A and B are shown apart, each in its own frame.
Chain A
Amino acid sequence: MSKNIHQSARLDRREALKAAGVGVLALGFATTAHATPEAAAEALSKVSGGAAASMSDKVTISLPEIAENGATVPVGVSVDSPMTADSYVKHIHVFAEGNPSPETVSFNLTATGKAEVNTRIRLSKTQNVMVAAVMNDGSVLTNKKEVKVTIGGCGG
C-alpha cells in the first residue's frame, strides 16, 4: 500500500497523461473483446424470458478455486430438485462473465435422473461463472462462483 502512495506522489503530468491513455485503451478493449457482468445478466434475461432471477443455495456449482489452464476448466452444476413430471429443472445455463461472449453452454433437461451436469469450459481470465437454472414453473434460480485462471484459454 505504501508503495502505491509513493508511486502516485511521483506522477508528473506526462506520466499521468500516459496512464490515462492506457486506461482509455484498456477500457475500449474491455468493452469490445470481453463481456461484463452486465452483459452476462442481459444474456440471462434473454434466456429466462425476463423472469426475475433469484440467488439460491439450491444451485451448487463445483469449480476449481484456481484453474491452471483456462482452456479446460471442469465445471459441475447440480440443482436440488426431485426431477419428477411435476417439478423438474428445464434448463441449466452457464455464463462466463469475462469471456468474449458470456454464453457458454445451455443444457435442456427432461424429468429424468437427477439435475446434475458436468462439462468442461474455456475461461479467458479470472472471473465469476454464473449459473441459472430454469425450473418447469418458469422460476429462475441463479448462483455464481469465482474462479482464478492462471493461463487464459480463449485464444487471442
Chain B
Amino acid sequence: MSTNVLLPDQTTARVPKQNYITKENGLMSWLLTGDHKRIAILYLISLTFFFFIGGALAALIRLELLTPQSDLMASDTYNKVFTMHGIVMIFFFLVPSVPATLGNFLIPIMVGARDLAFPKINLLSWYLYMAGGLLALYAMITGGVDTGWTFTTPLSTHYVNTNVVTTGLAAFIAGFSSIFTGLNFIVTIHRMRAPGMTWFKLPLFCWANYAAAVLMVLGTPVVAIAIVLVALERTIGIGVFDPTKGGDPLLFQHLFWFYSHPAVYIMILPGMGVVSEVISTFARKRVFGYSAVAFSSVAIAVFGFFVWAHHMFIMGISNYAALVFSLLTMLVAVPSAIKIFNWTFTLYKGSITFETPMLYAFGFMGLFTIGGLTGVFLGVSGTDIHLTETYFIVAHFHFVMVGGMLMAFLSGIHFWWPKMTGRMYPEKLSQLAAVVTFIGFNFTFFPQFLLGMLGMPRRYASYPPEFQVLNVFSTAGASILGVGYLLPVLYLIWSLKYGQVAGDNPWQATGLEWQIQSPPLTENFTEIPVVTQDVYDYEWLERQKEHEVTHVG
C-alpha cells in the first residue's frame, strides 16, 4: 500500500451531526460538563495558552543570551524570567500535557467505558489547574519569582523578597489537579474495562498513562509538603530549613526531588505511550515485545522513585548516598532503553509511511535517545560534578522534554485530531512544520551541550565572550523553533472549518477509538463492546473492512 490514509469520499462525506460537541450548546454546557472529551478540549485550549506564555519567556531568555553582557534585562529580572519559564512549562504544560488532553479523551474509549470513573472530579481537576495557572500568572505579573523553578533553600526561604509563597501555592493547587487526574485514570483502568478487555489487550498508551498516574498519586504530595514548609518558613519563621536554627536546607531538596524526579517520568511516560501507538500504526505492525514495553512503563515508574538524589550530587549529600543513587540511576535507564529497542524492532520489516504523527515520532526516538544517553553521563556522579549546573544539564532536559515529550505531544495531537474533531489537518503543511521544528530544535539545543562541556553555567544572564557564537546559534534555532510551534496552532484551528472530513478511521489503525465515529458520541459507544480481538491486530482490521460494517452517526 502506498498510503495509509483512507478518507471517505469528500463530495458526500459529512461530519456526523450528533457528536459530543453538538450535543449541547452554550458556554455553561462546557464549563459544567462531566464529559471527559469536553474536559480534554478545555485542557487543550488552556494548555496551549500556558505553553505560549512559557514560550514567550523562553524567547526573552534567548534574546538576552544573544550577547555576553546582561544588557536586555537586569540579572534579577533574568532570574525571574527563567524561573517563570520553568514553572509554567513544567507545572502548567508538560505535566498535564498528554494525560489531561489525550489521556482524558482517549482512556475511557480505549478501555471500552462511557467515561472516567469520576467525571466531577475530572472537571474539578481542570478548575484546579486553571486556578493554579492564573495564580502563577498573578504572581508573575506582581513581581515574579527568581529562585529557579527548584525553589532551592535557603535562597527561597531567607534570601529573596519575591512571590515565593504565591507561586508555591499555585504549584500546590496544580498538584492537586494532577493527583485527581491520576486517581481517575488508575480507578478507570482497573475497574472499568469492557468485557474481554484484559490488561494485556490494553493499548500501550493506557499502560503508559497508568504508570504516570501512579507517580502522580504517590509523588505529588511530597512536593506539596515541601512547599508548605517553605511557606511556613517564610511567613512564621519555623526553622526546618534554616541553618542558623539548626535546620538542613538539603532536607527541602530531598522532599522536592522525591517528587520532581518521578515528575520527569510523569512527563515522559504518556509521550512514550503516544509513540507506541503511532509507530505501530504507521509501520502497520504490532508493537514488538508488547509485554516488555508494558512492563517497562511500570518499571520506569517504580525505579523512578529510587533515584532522586542524583539531582543533589554536589549539594552536600554523603558520598555513600551519592554512590547508591548513582548506581540506581544506571538501573532506571534500562527500561527506557528497552522501549527504544522495541520501537526500533517494530519498524524493522514494517510498512513505514511518513505521515505527520510518524515524523514527530521519529523525531522523538532520535532526540529522546540523545537526551537519555546524556542523562547517563549525568547519572554517573563523577562526570556530574563537572557537568551539573552548566548548560549541559539544560541541553539534556530540553532534549528529553522538548525533543522528546513535546514532539510526542504534537505527534499525538495530530494522530488523534481527526478522532477529536472529525477533520483532517493539511498534511503537507503539517509535515513542513514537523521538519521545521526538528531543524529548529537541533540548532537551539545541540550547541548547549557544547556550551555546557566548555563550562558555561546555567541561570546566568551574562557569560564570557568566547561562548557567544554558540549562543547566537542557539537563539537563531529558537526563532526557527518558534515558527515550527506556531504553525500547528494556525492550521489546526483552520482545519476545524476547512479540513477534510476524516471518517471513523482515517489511519486504518487498530484500537477501540477507531471503531467509533469521529467525533465520538457523548456516550462514546452505542453499545459497550465485547473485546475479542488482540491489541494491534491488523489482520483483524482487514477482516473487519472486508465485512464493510457501516456505522450510524
Specify whether A and B are partners.
Answer: no
